[in-house]
Amino acid sequence: MSNKELEPLQDPGLPAHAHRKADHDEAAANRAERQVAILFLLSALGTVLFIYSYIFIENNLYIYIPILGNQHAQQLFLGLGFAIALFFIGAGAVHWAKTLMSDTEVIAERHEMRSSDEDRAAFIATVKEEAGAVGLGRRSLIKRSLALSLGLVGISPLLLLRDLGPLPEDALNKTTWDEGVHLVTDPGNRRLRPEDLEVGAVAHVLPEIEHPEHRSLNSIAKDALLLIRIRPEEFRLDAEKLSWTYQGIIAFSKICSHMGCAVALYEQTTKHLLCPCHQSTFDVPTGAKVIFGPSARPLPQLAIKVDEEGYLVAAAPFNQAVGPSFWERKK
Amino acid sequence: MRAARERVAGSVANFVDERTGAAKFLKKSLNKVFPDHWSFMLGEIALYSFIILLLSGTFLTFWFVPSQEELIYNGSYVPLKGVKMSAAYASTLDISFDVRGGMLMRQIHHWAALLFLAAMVAHMMRVFFTGAFRKPREMNWIFGVALITLGIVEGFLGYSLPDDLLSGTGIRIAQAILQAIPLVGTYAAFFAFGGEFPGLDFIPRIYTVHVLLLPGIMLGLITVHLMLVWYQKHTQYPGPGRTEKNVVGYPLLPVYMAKAGGFLFIVFGVTAFLGAVASINPIWVFGPYTPTQISAGSQPDWYMGWLDGLVRMSPPLESHIFNHTISWNILIPGLIVPGIMFTGLALWPFIESWATGDKREHNLLDRPRNAPSRTAVGAMAITFTIVALINGGNDIIATHFSLTINQIMWATRISIFVLPPLAYVITKRICLALQRADRDLVLHGRETGRLVMLPHGEFVEIHEELSPEEAWTRTSHEQLAPIPAAGIDANGVRAKGVLKDRIRARISKGILQEQIAKPTAKDKLEIGDGHH
Ligand code: HEM
Ligand code: FES
């Protein structure tokens, strides 16, 4: 079946060992010894540099090195000292091995991994005998009940993990936004009037809360909004979505509908919102429809209006969950 | 002096042996033979960078505070003074700016992590392309795949720890993948994060996983991996004097030990040098994590980049069935494709031996050209990953080569289907061409470029015959024949499972039929000496 029968070329066998210079020339060997010693001493110098840098270089000293630019001097020289100290120990050892240690190749025999047939037979016999002695084959009640309890005992550690976190319940569908909640700037926590936003401008917005200094990242991760103003006639929205805007101002969740990054880039000329994570691109006039990238849904839009004092407030909670999709998410 | 030293060594050895009987085992071990080849060092680099990670990581734990509790920064990095941030981020700033050598250690740790994964991948490619995973080494291949997988996770968790803007974005994406799993995803995410994203629990939790759980498991796997290499003895490249039944190389002591030990220091020295001069992950530039900001052009480490690239090129697919959502745009690139890739990788030794019908032990490595189909499959997988990786950096590439993201996205979306099969075909052709070149070399010798004029005026080039050693290296491999299309017995009756057998015979034919017959002693004789 293989080419074997066709008689391959002959294996000439391991070539004769070629001796190195240092093997027979005492002077060459001594030279090699000196080279190795120099390499080891270089390493010692590296450690001296390391210790010097640790103790004597000021922490706030920066120096300019071509190509590298401004460098923190202490960290640079600590590192160089360390690198030299380590590298030359290695270089010395390898040079030593290559020039002075025996370099004759040796041949060792291999054995097949498989045990010998007698060993295998003996092993199987032992197993059978042991199994017979325990009587597992006969005592099926023991076998089954043991299997049952072994299976069940695995549940306990899993159950113990239950308290890692609360159940999701309705949490992902809720945000702080509700009718009448003021829109405030992020950062700054200042309320906004429509006049604060020129056409073409974008504002980053959070809901007003009593103690903004205690605002949790959890709530920010769901509440963050983008407020964008375009000319009202540029909207191409259905009547309901249009009624959620105010004088050309439209509010979208800033949390990407793909995997939850901050949709941070607004391109004024094209009126596109871009998420830098995977470049999902949302078209503002059409209600943040996805025009490019992997996201499958528009950014949720928040209905807004102004209160009697003329500040922008939410007109209703979000009508859907914000952020990335999840199994229980309703369309 | 020398006599005294020997006496001490002797009595120590005696003490140990009388209590453990170690001498017998050690005598055998010290005579272990290790074949020498540069490509056998790749695994060593992986091992050494792992050791460096253990050492530098332990140093970092002395100052790192794994907590998402908020505080106001008041360390010596002026631009962030007075900024609200997590204790994890603040402590990473402290390590960087207030602990002498702390920045160096962070950078060594991070460079070693990149090196660790790069070395594992390179090592895996060496093992793959030379067929070192074949029986009896399939188990070690699986341990290797497990180590790479854990290494990727470990690296990801590592750069998530500092809680800077970049790493927080990575965690957000991981959370979204978890949450996208049908049925249990939302629960899994709530359990992992102790509630909603980001919560206060995640960093303390992944800290334990990063410094204890995964390093522990990896240490165990590495130990078993090395014990198996030891026990099964190293494979070797084909060559004169090298057979399936022997191993030719250097003894453990002193040469191999000195070289390997020296090499550990060299690898450590190189990572220290990188840590000294090449800034990596400057978390103080990114700022602390907040869900409303993002650094443009954010890039994960390279070993995650291909995943990111797959996610980016995914089509915007989502299904809504009975009030439930299935995010194909996350599941396919984030879980399904990588799942298929890693499962295929782990099972490859069995797939191959099934397809070729070769169930024997192999201790001699293949030259990649002599296993054209395997080499081509490898090239295909690498091409796939590189296309994905390129798309993972599409924003960077777009700005550097003034292309639009749109162009790159479509180019890679098409390439990911077209280029891998193309790579397969081309690689296979190249392998066969190399086989042909080998055959020519063995039969006709090497061109010397020297011309001689024959008596009747014709010029011919002198060909120098290969040495017997070289000729042997190029011909010692065996060429398997395809499995015959079995299933129909002598009476023309179809046996059970015929379809399976036929498929297998087909595959085996595809893999094994195309080979350039290697020269035999007879071929060589026929050509004779007169030929130049
Ligand atoms: C085995 C493979 C390991 C890999 C691939 C790995 C990878 C990483 C990476 C990429 C970082 C981010 C570093 C940065 O740029 O700030 C990191 C951080 C860290 N790692 Fe590891 N690591 C490993 C093992 C360990 C071990 C064994 C320990 C401790 C015993 C450890 C302790 C830490 C600590 C405390 C941090 C956070 C401090 C900081 O980022 O400065 N790591 N790891
Ligand atoms: S998270 Fe926005 S595109 Fe992926």
Do B97 and B14 have their domain in common? Answer: no
The residue segments making up the domain with residue B103 are 42-313
Task: Label residue A1 by pLDDT band (50, 70, 90).
Answer: very low
What's the rounded Cα separation, in Å, for the pair A137 and A132? Answer: 7
Q: Are A97 and B237 in contact (CB under 8 A)?
A: no
Region A32-36: what's the mean pLDDT? Answer: 95
Residue B424 pLDDT > 80 = yes
- Asked if the structure places residue B155 within a domain, the reply is yes
Residue A5 pLDDT > 60: no
Residue B48 lies in a domain: yes
Percent of chain B with pLDDT over 90: 62
Percent of chain A with pLDDT over 70: 97
Contact B306, B385 (CB under 8 A): yes
| Total domains, chain B | 2
The Cα-based distances of B330 to A162, A169, A260, B325, B372 in angstroms read: 26, 23, 12, 12, 35
Residues B84 and B6 occupy one common structural domain: no
pTM: 0.91
Q: How far is A225 from chain B (nearest CA, A)?
A: 9
- Chain A touched by B519 (CB under 8 Å): yes
Q: What is the pLDDT of residues A219-255, one digit of tens each?
A: 999 999 999 999 999 999 999 999 999 999 999 999 9
Give yes or no for residue B42 having a pLDDT over 50: yes
Please provide the size of chain A in residues. Answer: 331
Distance B287 CA to ligand 2 centre (A): 20
At A138, list the tokens. 């006969």
Query: Which chain A residues contact residue B291 at CB under 8 A?
Result: 217, 220-221, 224, 255, 260, 262
| Residue of B258 and B526 predicted with greater confidence | B258
Q: Which atom of ligand 2 is nearest to the CA of B173?
A: 1
CB < 8 Å to B31, chain A: 108
Question: Hey, which of A195-199, B62-66, B242-246 has the most confident mean pLDDT?
Answer: B62-66
Same-domain status, B230 and B300: yes
Sign of CA dihedral A162, A165, A166, A168: negative
CB B281 within 8 A of CB A95: no
Contact criterion met (CB < 8 Å) for B291 and A112:
no
pLDDT at B505: 84
B295 C-alpha to ligand 2 centroid (Å): 13
Residue B2, in any domain of the structure: yes
pLDDT tops 70 at residue A137: no
Mean pLDDT of chain B: 90
**Is B70 within the bounds of a domain?**
yes
Shared domain for B8 and B74, answered yes or no, is no
Are the CB atoms for A296 and A145 separated by under 8 Å? no
Average pLDDT over every residue of A270-279: 92
**A261: burial class by Cβ within 10 Å (0-12, 13-18, 19+)?**
buried
Q: Is the pLDDT of residue A261 over 70?
A: yes
Give pLDDT, residue B532: 43
Residue B15 domain-assigned (yes or no): yes
In the listed set B254, B288, B313, which residue is the last one of a domain according to the structure? B313
Are A1 and B481 inside 8 Å of each other by CB?
A: yes
Q: Give B451 or A3, the one with higher predicted confidence.
A: B451
What's chain A's average pLDDT? 90
Mean pLDDT of A259-285: 93
pLDDT in tens, B78-136: 999 999 999 999 999 999 999 999 999 999 999 999 999 999 999 999 999 999 999 99
Q: Same domain for B16 and B106?
A: no
Residues 157-216 of B with CB under 8 A from A: 169, 172-173, 175-177, 179-187, 189-199, 201
Query: Where are the extended beta strands (E) located within B294-390?
Result: 319-321, 324-326
- B53 and B5 within one domain: no
Pair B133, B194: CB distance under 8 Å = no
**Residue from B208, B290, B310, B325 to probe the interface with A (highest A Cβ count within 10 Å):** B325
Task: Identify whether the C-beta of residue B107 lies closer than 8 Å to the C-beta of residue B280.
Answer: yes
**pLDDT tens column, B456-509:** 888 888 888 888 888 888 888 888 888 876 555 555 555 566 777 888 888 888
DSSP A291: E
Q: Give pLDDT tens digits for A311-321.
A: 999 999 999 99
At position B27, the amino acid (one-letter code) is K
Interface list for B 326-365 with A (CB within 8 A): 326-327, 329-330, 333, 361, 363
Q: Does ligand 1 have an atom closer than 6 angstroms to the CB of B57?
A: yes
- Per-residue pLDDT of B145-203, as tens digits, reads 999 999 999 999 999 999 999 999 999 999 999 999 999 999 999 999 999 999 999 99
Residues B10 and B75 in one domain: no
pLDDT of A69 reads 85
> Same domain for B3 and B77?
no
Say yes or no: domain A171-314 is CATH 2.102.10.10: yes
Give which of B196, B267, B474, B516 to mutate to test A binding, by max A Cβ within 10 Å.
Answer: B196
- Which of these, B258, B174, B255, lies nearest to B209 by C-alpha position? B174
pLDDT of residue A128: 85
Pick A113 or A278 by higher pLDDT: A278
In single-letter form, the type of residue at position B242 comes to: R
**Same domain (yes/no): B150, B7:** no
Nearest residue in chain A measured CA to CA from B100: A54
Residue B486 lies in a domain: no
* Chain A residues 207-226 with a CB less than 8 Å from chain B: 217-218, 220-222, 224
B379: in domain: no
Query: Does residue B223 sit in the same domain as residue B127?
Result: yes
CB of A166 less than 8 A from some CB of B: yes
Q: Give the closest ligand to the alpha carbon of residue B291.
A: 2
Residue B171 and residue B73 share a domain: yes
> Is B455 a domain residue?
no
Say yes or no for a CB contact (<8 Å) between A294 and B276: no
Q: Does B313 touch chain A (CB under 8 A)?
A: yes
The Cα–Cα gap between B95 and B92 comes to 5
Which residue in chain A has the smallest CA separation from B246?
A: A109
Sequence ranges of the domains in chain A:
18-105+133-163, 171-314
Tokens matching residue A258: 């793909």
Q: Are residues B136 and B22 in the same domain?
A: no
Facing residue for B520 by CB, picked from A8, A220, A326: A8
Give the nearest ligand 1 atom to B159 CA: 12
What ipTM did this prediction achieve?
0.90
Ligand number with the minimum distance to the CA of B97: 1
Q: A158-190 as b/e, with b when 16 or more CB fall inside 10 Å?
A: eeeeeebbeebeeebbebbbeeebbbbebeeee
CB contact under 8 A, A79 and B272: yes
How far apart are the CA of B115 and the nearest CA of chain A, in angstroms?
A: 16
